[in-house]
């Protein structure tokens, strides 16, 4: 879908609609993430809403993280609220880490979330992702 969006930018609304219609949440998160860098600002709100609607926290964090770099300031706080609502500790840390580049004030929160991860391997991955932001 991403390759098609590069070739035909005028079909981006249709590509986003197709991504939103995908029933399998992981596949929907993948499709939304692939489109994140391609979407014009007027479609970002719709795409962000689709990402926030994903029920599985891992998949939602993955999709939200893909949008973090592309979002304008007015959508960052809405995304931060969604990231903070994620209860699964790995996914919570992943989403906060992705937002930390654009919202450096949340670095302490992202670091605390990463340090709180119980699984040692997952904690290492989360802390490594934050290392270049500190």
Looking at residues 2-16, what average pLDDT do you find? 75
Q: What is the pLDDT of residue 75?
A: 86
pLDDT of residue 4: 56
pLDDT at 8: 65
- Average pLDDT, integer, range 30-44: 92
CA distance 88 to 82: 13
Please give the residue that has the higher pLDDT: either 1 or 115: 115
Q: Has residue 41 got a pLDDT over 90?
A: no
Q: pTM of this prediction?
A: 0.81
Do 40 and 12 touch, CB atoms closer than 8 A?
A: yes
Percent of the residues in the chain that have a pLDDT greater than 90, as a whole number:
41
How far are the Cα atoms of 1, 19, 78 from residue 88, in angstroms, in the given order?
29, 24, 19
CB 100 within 8 A of CB 131: no
Dist CA 12 CA 56 (whole Å): 25
> 62 pLDDT band (50/70/90 cuts)?
very high
């Amino acid at each position: 879908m991403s390759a098609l969006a590069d070739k035909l930018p005028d079909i981006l609304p249709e590509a986003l609609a197709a991504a939103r219609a995908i029933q399998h949440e992981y596949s929907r998160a993948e499709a939304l993430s692939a489109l994140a860098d391609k979407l014009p600002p007027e479609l970002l709100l719709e795409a962000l809403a689709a990402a926030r609607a994903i029920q599985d926290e891992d998949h939602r964090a993955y999709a939200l993280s893909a949008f973090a770099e592309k979002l304008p300031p007015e959508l960052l706080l809405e995304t931060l609220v969604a990231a903070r609502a994620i209860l699964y500790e790995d996914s919570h840390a992943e989403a906060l880490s992705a937002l930390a580049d654009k919202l450096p004030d949340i670095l302490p929160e992202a670091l605390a979330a990463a340090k709180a991860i119980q699984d040692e391997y997952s904690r290492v991955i989360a802390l490594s992702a934050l290392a270049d932001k500190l």
